[in-house]
Amino acid sequence: MNKSSNLETEPLFLSACWCKPTSRTPVWIMRQAGRYLPEYRKIRSQVDFLTLTKTPELAAEVTLQPVRRFGIDAAILFSDIMTPVEGMGVKMEFNPGPVVTNPLRTASQIDALRIPDLNENAPFVAEAIKIIQKELPVSVPLIGFAGAPFTLFCYLVEGQGSKTFSQAKSFLFAEPQLSRMILEKLTDVMIEYLRGQAQAGAQALMIFDSWAGLLADEDYKAFAYPSVCRIIKSLGHLDIPLIYFPNQGATLLETVKDSGADVVGIDWRTSLSVARHVLGSDVAVQGNLDPMALFSSKEDLGSRIDNVLREGGPGPGHIFNLGHGIDKNTDPDRVAFLVERVRESSQKDLY
Amino acid sequence: MNKSSNLETEPLFLSACWCKPTSRTPVWIMRQAGRYLPEYRKIRSQVDFLTLTKTPELAAEVTLQPVRRFGIDAAILFSDIMTPVEGMGVKMEFNPGPVVTNPLRTASQIDALRIPDLNENAPFVAEAIKIIQKELPVSVPLIGFAGAPFTLFCYLVEGQGSKTFSQAKSFLFAEPQLSRMILEKLTDVMIEYLRGQAQAGAQALMIFDSWAGLLADEDYKAFAYPSVCRIIKSLGHLDIPLIYFPNQGATLLETVKDSGADVVGIDWRTSLSVARHVLGSDVAVQGNLDPMALFSSKEDLGSRIDNVLREGGPGPGHIFNLGHGIDKNTDPDRVAFLVERVRESSQKDLY
């Protein structure tokens, strides 16, 4: 961990990731570049989703939109967790979620998966990062990201999004060896993909394990966790914060605490005080307002925000965020209210 | 609680519900009457789902199928949690999941909801129970059930099943007073509906809160939990076991322990030892093998079953079940293996 930077000049977000004291709690919002913003919808009305992710100027533009509108404390690259999977040789469409033309099921399909580096895999991602970094204020770090191998495995084997991912899970249990082969290849590719993002200029890296919560702890330990640990270990030398988000991971935190992640994202089900107690004071937490709370009255929303700040503190190492991606029907004015409230309240004595 | 029955003659399932010692661990399976059984599919090929739930002879027949095939320790009425909602005046179709023609959104829609008793609401349910009880061995109790008010609220406001129930949740947060009105009416109806099932012959009652896990504990306490407590309190005088299943409720158990439920259903994410520790020795637990574990090799499946038994004990008060409904692609032979394994292993010293 890099704890040597100067407190005066280091961006708030990075200081909080390193569990260093900050003048207030930094805030950003999962899926902050997205459909709830009219300026995003305007661009999306002209290009489809895949084109948007693969056109560096446009991806950079939508990445910057919430920074301009809200003066938020971190930017996150606009992309999709499935982006680096295409370069492995997997054919997909977005309809509107990712649909895999030939879901992975056989050893020969798995053998055929390629392990490209970022430049071969998704050169447009490195280009987008460079454009973003030219425009981004120095106080606002850029987060790069990837899907966790188990979460990508779920999509690649199921073939599409699902409530239960029953195809993917039955494959996992019926074919543990083949499953491990897929997970290992995905791990190799995500290490290269994340490393490439850091080399292009990403100042923090986040691993989204959206479907970690499908697994009991015992199966998480057997299948999902080892690849997360390997990614974190392989990227430790980069000296930038590594954030891991085990979605719906309430029952996995005892395991996750040893992952080596600098920051753990917490969904809204687990209170931040419980998470901090389990994870210890060396690990920062990121979260965790229920995204649907943005539909409450401002009075309710304000007190919910203060509650999250109270649970996340006292003491350093809390990055305010939602507990899941923002809903597409959210009023952007509520987000402006949220950002302002976090700023104000986190400078008060809430205890 | 009725703890006076004779240990010699009381069915294993009921003894375990009352936390009394049993010669082995009783076992039944959520959604045990369903599409994974060829004899069920044969009947469903002739009638649609709604007709099946509303025709007492057919509902009784499919309820009895898994009892005959597996010699399982409890039967559960074949029905749907949405069944009693139609009698409130809500129009629906099954397509294949429940779709509400006019999702609830306004005060006048809510005012118009009726509160029928079971005989007015779903007389076919009482009839089915009576037919089942004539055929069921005395050692196999029949479980009646209802959806928890919050879970029904989710369907009624969203209008259909959903991964996130974002319409229902945004309504909950935006309109807490209207939401409470809906929840209160649903509570009134479910009390009558469950009472009617007990009067017709159900020997235990289960409340399915399939979507409890959508809520943080604070919102669960404000919206979902009060109706569950009111149902349990209203039915306590019946002196039959009341089972509450807060699906994905890992972060809610500290609250649930005071609900008054005799048995708490646990999904596969929370280990039974943790659940028992939180709930205390007076509350039985029901669960919690991951349904997808039935796709493992028999060797793996056997050791997973033994693990669940180990976590559920030692000491009385464990009913073996899956941690969620069985998947429709499950091999019935694996279920036979499971039932046999639970019987054998639970009579051995696993510790």
Binned average pLDDT, 10 residues per bin, chain A of 351 residues: 55 98 97 98 96 97 98 97 94 86 95 92 96 97 98 96 93 98 98 97 98 97 98 97 98 98 98 97 97 98 98 94 98 98 94 79
pLDDT of residue A128: 98
Percent of chain B with pLDDT over 70: 98
The number of beta carbons lying within 10 Å of the beta carbon of residue B163 is: 10
Q: Kindly state whether residue B2 falls inside one of the protein's structural domains.
A: no
> Per the CB < 8 Å rule, is B271 touching A174?
no
Instruction: Evaluate whether residue B5 is within a structural domain.
Output: no
B242 φψ region: left (φ > 0), alpha (ψ -120 to 50), beta (else): beta
* Residue B69 annotated in active site: no
Of the candidates B171, B250, B292, which has its C-beta nearest A250's C-beta? B250
Query: CB distance A268–B216 less than 8 Å?
Result: yes
The verdict on whether B80 is a catalytic residue reads: yes
Nearest CA to CA, how far is B301 from chain A (Å)?
Answer: 9
- Residue A250 near residue A272, CB atoms below 8 Å: no
Contact check, Cβ <8 Å, B327/A170: yes
Least CB-CB distance to A269: which of B216, B293, B296?
B216
Q: State whether B173 and A329 contact (CB < 8 Å).
A: no
A85 within domain boundaries: yes
- Find the CB nearest B269 among A161, A216, A329: A216
* B266-307 pLDDT per residue, tens: 999 999 999 999 999 999 999 999 999 999 999 999 999 999
Q: How far apart are CA B152 and CA A5, in angstroms?
A: 53
Catalytic residue (one of B31, B230, B276, B304): B31
Q: State the pLDDT at residue B4.
A: 44
Q: Is the CB of B174 inside 8 Å of chain A's CB atoms?
A: yes
List, by residue number, the catalytic residues of A.
31, 35, 44, 80, 155
Q: Which of B36, B40, B73, B155 is catalytic?
A: B155
Residue A164, domain CATH: 3.20.20.210
> Which chain B residues are closer than 8 Å to A271 by Cβ?
216-217, 251
Low-confidence ranges of chain B (pLDDT < 50): 1-7
Domain presence at residue B188: yes
- pLDDT tens digits, B41-97: 999 999 999 999 999 999 999 999 999 999 999 999 999 999 999 999 999 888 778
Domain presence at residue A174: yes
Tell me, yes or no, whether A90 lies in a domain: yes
Tell which A residues from 216 to 235 touch B, by Cβ distance under 8 Å.
Answer: 216-219
Q: Check B173 against A295: CB less than 8 A apart.
A: yes
Tell me how long chain A is: 351
Q: Is A325 on the interface with B (CB under 8 A)?
A: no
Whole-angstrom Cα distance, residue A232 to residue A242? Answer: 7
Predicted TM-score (pTM) of this structure: 0.95
Query: What 8-state DSSP symbol labels residue B139?
Result: T
Q: Does residue A278 belong to the interface with chain B, where contact is any CB pair within 8 Å?
A: no
Residue A106 within a domain: yes
Sequence-ordered strand ranges (E) for A228-335: 242-246, 263-265, 284-289, 318-322
Measure A300 CA to nearest chain B CA, in Å.
9
Please say whether the beta carbons of A37 and A78 come within 8 A.
no
What are the two backbone dihedrals, phi and then psi, of residue B156, each rounded to the nearest 5 degrees? -70, -35
Q: Which of A157, A173, A273 to mutate to test the interface with B (most CBs of B within 10 A)?
A: A173
State whether residue A300 sits within 8 Å of chain B by CB. yes
- Euclidean distance between CA atoms A215 and A249, whole angstroms: 9
Residue at B114 is within a domain = yes
Q: Which two tokens stand for residue B134?
A: 């004539």
Residues B224 and B209: their CA atoms lie apart, in Å, by 9
Strand A263-265, strand A204-209: pairing: unpaired
pLDDT given at position B213: 97
Q: Could you give the number of structural domains in chain A? A: 1
Task: Please say whether the beta carbons of A14 and A241 come within 8 A.
Answer: yes
A217–B251 CB contact, under 8 Å: no
Closest to A270 in 3D by CA, of B275, B2, B252, B301: B252
pLDDT of A8: 55
Domain range for B310 is 12-345
Shortest CA distance from B175: residue in chain A: A296
Where residue A232 falls (left for φ over 0; alpha for ψ -120 to 50; beta otherwise) is alpha
* Catalytic (active site) residue B35: yes
Q: What is the ipTM of this complex?
A: 0.94
Nearest chain B alpha carbon to A298: B174
